[in-house]
Amino acid sequence: MTFAGFTATEKTSLRIEEALAVEKADFRDNGTILRMYQQATRDGRETAPLKKRKRGEYRDIPVPRWLWDMIRDLPDGPLMIGNGERRYQLYGTVYERFMNAADKAGIPAGFTPHSLRHAFTSAMLIKSVPITGVTHWLGHRDVRVTYRIYGHLVPSAAARAIAVLDEEYAEWSKPAKK
């Protein structure tokens, strides 16, 4: 497994099966958009449609520019190359390697590869990225699913409204320039 593969998982909100199927060609717009349209099967031999999607449906996910800088010079094909007859790495192998690395790094028990998806979502919502965009990037069909899981991270609309009103008042009440 490559560092780029783990990084793609953390910085794009992907499920493990989705991350396993990421190929260099899935990056668009000079590497700033990742188009997800498939996920690897658990046996690593082929791909399947995204969770709760039909073949051909996709979602575009923004990614940081430095991620493309890591991937740009890699060969075409999967970022996490399988072995032998498998195009993609096995789900179980990736999970086990991740858990072993997390243990060696002293990361508390319970932190799984799926925790990276939660970290991505938490970072987006805490920084006031609209939940509608985050919902799309996660692959949720309904914003209520995202809100049910992560709603506690959405900044208070009332607090934001007060801040906007205070900023506007400060702008309106500036003395006129002479």
User: In CATH, what number is assigned to the domain containing residue 65?
Assistant: 1.10.443.10
Count: domains in the chain: 1
Is residue 164 domain-resident?
Answer: yes
Confidence of residue 11 (pLDDT cuts 50, 70, 90): low
pLDDT > 70? residue 6: no
> DSSP label at 25?
G
Q: For the chain, how big is the Rg over CA atoms in Å?
A: 20
The pLDDT score that the predictor gives to residue 3 is: 47
Side by side, the strands of the sheet bearing 27-28 are: 27-28, 33-36, 59-62
Q: What are phi and psi of 148, to 5 degrees?
A: -60, -40
Return the structure tokens found at 36.
């997800």
Q: What is the mean pLDDT of the chain?
A: 88
Contact (Cβ atoms closer than 8 angstroms) between residue 11 and residue 120: yes
Is residue 21 domain-resident?
Answer: yes
Model pTM? Answer: 0.77
What is the distance between the alpha carbons of residues 145 and 101, in angstroms, rounded to a whole number? 31
Is residue 176 domain-resident?
Answer: no
Contact (Cβ atoms closer than 8 angstroms) between residue 25 and residue 35: no
Range of the domain at 11: 3-168
The pLDDT score that the predictor gives to residue 85 is: 87
Is residue 175 domain-resident?
Answer: no
Is residue 178 domain-resident?
Answer: no
Pick the more confident residue, 42 or 177.
42
Is residue 24 domain-resident?
Answer: yes
Summarize pLDDT for 115-171 with one digit per residue, the tens: 999 999 999 998 889 999 999 999 999 999 999 999 888 877 788 789 889 999 898
The pLDDT score that the predictor gives to residue 5 is: 52
Contact (Cβ atoms closer than 8 angstroms) between residue 144 and residue 138: no
The β-bridge relationship of strands 33-36 and 27-28 is: antiparallel
Residue carrying structure tokens 């990736």: 94
User: Which residue in 136, 11, 137 sits closest to 68, CA to CA?
Assistant: 11
